[in-house]
């Protein structure tokens, strides 16, 4: 059965995924004579950079998610269908999905990435991921549940495990999350649990490599270390994790840490689609695309963002898997599609690096734009301003802004709710 979408004479562009790439693509294609069908398993776009604030009770989930239909309200060539893609049948130019089949003239894969446990079963089973709204909400529940449990327990080891949070992975996500957990320890949770001794609460950031924020320059890497240190976070560098049973994590060195709350921020992997040719996927599991974002071995299939890998000078392993790359690739694909409809030659992709930033708790952030870096309070203001600007929807911006001002003045996080208790394996 085919998905119910109007039959029209213009080419149909099917886009899978409404992350930063998919979102930009639909916007850019709005004035082109094509029919756009966007498929996503959720009916909302997630502003992933703020997921860690949902996990740590700083923001409502609803203010960093935005209904897809609302974003493209009034865009006539646009059709959204909520469903999961199951199989690509490229010989017939069609996709099989959970809600039916659909034919395409052009297919654009913008499926993004998911948590990568690198095949380590222990962590897949017991660690908490944080790549989606529901995962972030589960993490929020788990953190609060652990403290509710810690209150009831007299066994000191068990209590220690419940009050220790280990974040694996020293990239921006790990650093931001660890900073936010330290803020919870410092300003929020001791008021909620006066019966617990918060000197016992530990936040440990575990990084396999020798430094945090490896994509940033040396000044900022050091700054991040200093900031985390000031916040009371233990940073364990050059430390690989080996085993985890849900309450004890063992390092490759044999060292152990008691923790019932281990968050995995150590890696991501491309979300692929069944039916893609093997030769189109590289050794690291990303979809191989050329300078035009065209997928290897296909003529009318493109891929952008985290799921894709374009090898260029300076980017021998592909571009970084971050939002600006996805957005710029979306812009390129849209503009090339426009050109091809006019029989013009397409442009090659060229990445414009706008810089990176990460926040480390209250009043502290590291920002890097070209050769220019700054930190502390100004970095933090820049971080806040940019993220407010990038959030979709004016209402969301206002609500997030109020939450931030509120938290800043009151040293507080308001959303300490266990709406759906987290249960392992369900």
Beta strand 78-82 pairing with 35-40 = parallel
The answer to whether 176 is a known catalytic residue is yes
Q: Say whether residue 65 binds its own copies (CB under 8 A).
A: yes
Q: Which residue has the tokens 């004035």?
A: 31
- Looking only at residues 307 through 366 of this chain, which bind its own copies when binding is defined by CB under 8 A? none
Gyration radius (Cα) of the chain, Å: 22
Closer CB to its own copies, 311 or 399, in the complex = 399
- Residue 3 CB, nearest approach to its own copies (Å): 6
**Within 10 A of 331 (CB to CB), how many other CB atoms are there?**
17
Q: Say whether residue 94 binds its own copies (CB under 8 A).
A: no
- Helix/strand/coil percent split, the chain, to 5: 35, 25, 40
DSSP state of 185: I
Closer CB to its own copies, 84 or 347, in the complex = 84
- What number of residues does the chain have? 426
CA–CA separation, 271 and 282 (whole Å): 13
Closer CB to its own copies, 2 or 377, in the complex = 2
CA–CA separation, 358 and 344 (whole Å): 40
CA–CA separation, 398 and 97 (whole Å): 37
- Set 160, 176, 183, 207: catalytic member: 176
> By CB under 8 A, which span of 2-10, 11-19, 283-291, 302-310 interacts with its own copies?
2-10
Closer CB to its own copies, 31 or 121, in the complex = 31
Q: Say whether residue 61 binds its own copies (CB under 8 A).
A: yes
Number of residues forming the site for its own copies (CB under 8 A): 49
CA–CA separation, 199 and 273 (whole Å): 47
Q: Say whether residue 402 binds its own copies (CB under 8 A).
A: yes
Contact in structure between 331 and 28 (CB atoms under 8 Å):
yes
Residue window 361-400: x/- pattern of binding to its own copies, with contact defined by CB under 8 A: --------------------------------x-xx-xx-
Q: Say whether residue 133 binds its own copies (CB under 8 A).
A: yes
Q: Which residue has the tokens 């426009």?
A: 338
H/E element, 251: strand 248-251
**Within 10 A of 418 (CB to CB), how many other CB atoms are there?**
14
- Residue 387 CB, nearest approach to its own copies (Å): 18
CA–CA separation, 175 and 268 (whole Å): 16
Q: Say whether residue 258 binds its own copies (CB under 8 A).
A: no
- Residue 421 CB, nearest approach to its own copies (Å): 9
Strands of 100-103's sheet in order across:
85-89, 94-97, 100-103
Contact in structure between 189 and 172 (CB atoms under 8 Å):
no
Q: Say whether residue 81 binds its own copies (CB under 8 A).
A: yes
Q: Say whether residue 423 binds its own copies (CB under 8 A).
A: no
Q: Say whether residue 157 binds its own copies (CB under 8 A).
A: no
Q: What distance separates the 2 farthest-apart alpha carbons in the chain?
A: 74
- Out of 7, 91, 195, 313, the only residue in the binding site for its own copies (CB under 8 A) is 195
Closer CB to its own copies, 53 or 116, in the complex = 53
> By CB under 8 A, which span of 166-174, 256-264, 267-275, 414-422 interacts with its own copies?
414-422
Which of the residues are catalytic? 176
List residues near its own copies by CB under 8 A: 3-4, 6, 42-44, 60-63, 65, 67, 69-70, 73-74, 79, 81-82, 99-100, 133-134, 137, 144, 148, 151-154, 191-193, 195, 393, 395-396, 398-399, 402-403, 406, 414-420
């Amino acid at each position: 059965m085919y998905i119910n979408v109007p039959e029209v004479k213009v080419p149909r562009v099917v886009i899978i995924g409404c992350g930063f790439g998919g979102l930009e693509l639909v916007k850019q294609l709005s004035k082109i004579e094509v029919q756009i069908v966007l498929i996503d398993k959720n009916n909302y776009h997630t502003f992933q950079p703020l997921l860690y604030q949902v996990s740590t009770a700083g923001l409502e989930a609803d203010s960093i998610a935005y209904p897809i239909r609302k974003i493209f309200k009034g865009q006539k060539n646009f059709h959204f269908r909520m469903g999961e893609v199951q199989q690509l049948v490229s010989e017939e130019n069609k996709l099989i999905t959970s809600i039916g089949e659909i034919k395409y003239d052009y297919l654009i894969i913008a499926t993004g990435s998911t948590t990568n446990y690198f095949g380590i079963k222990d962590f897949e089973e017991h660690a908490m991921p944080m790549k989606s709204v529901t995962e972030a909400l589960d993490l929020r529940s788990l953190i609060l549940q652990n403290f509710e449990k810690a209150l009831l327990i007299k066994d000191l080891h068990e209590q220690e495990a419940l009050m220790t949070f280990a974040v694996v992975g020293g990239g921006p996500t790990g650093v931001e999350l660890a900073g936010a957990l330290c803020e919870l320890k410092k300003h929020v949770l001791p008021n909620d649990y006066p019966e617990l001794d918060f000197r016992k609460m530990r936040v440990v950031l575990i990084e396999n490599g020798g430094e945090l924020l490896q994509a940033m320059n040396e000044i900022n890497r050091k700054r991040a270390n200093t900031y985390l240190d000031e916040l009371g976070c233990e940073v364990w560098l050059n430390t690989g994790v080996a085993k985890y049973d849900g309450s004890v994590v063992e390092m490759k060195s044999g060292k152990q840490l008691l923790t019932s709350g281990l968050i995995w921020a150590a890696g991501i992997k491309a979300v692929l689609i069944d039916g893609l040719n093997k030769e189109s996927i590289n050794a690291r599991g990303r979809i191989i695309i050329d300078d035009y974002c065209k997928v290897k071995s296909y003529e009318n299939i493109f891929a952008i963002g985290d799921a894709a890998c374009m090898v260029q000078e300076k980017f021998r392993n592909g571009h970084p898997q971050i939002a600006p790359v996805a957005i710029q690739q979306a812009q390129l694909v849209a503009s090339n599609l426009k050109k091809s409809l006019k029989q013009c030659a397409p442009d090659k992709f060229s990445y414009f690096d706008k810089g990176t930033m990460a926040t480390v708790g209250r009043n502290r952030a590291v920002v890097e734009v070209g050769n220019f870096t700054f930190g502390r309070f100004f970095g933090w203001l820049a971080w806040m301003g940019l993220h407010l600007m990038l959030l979709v929807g004016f209402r969301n911006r206002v609500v997030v802004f109020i939450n931030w001002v509120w938290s800043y003045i009151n040293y507080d996080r308001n959303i300490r709710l266990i709406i759906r208790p987290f249960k392992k394996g369900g």
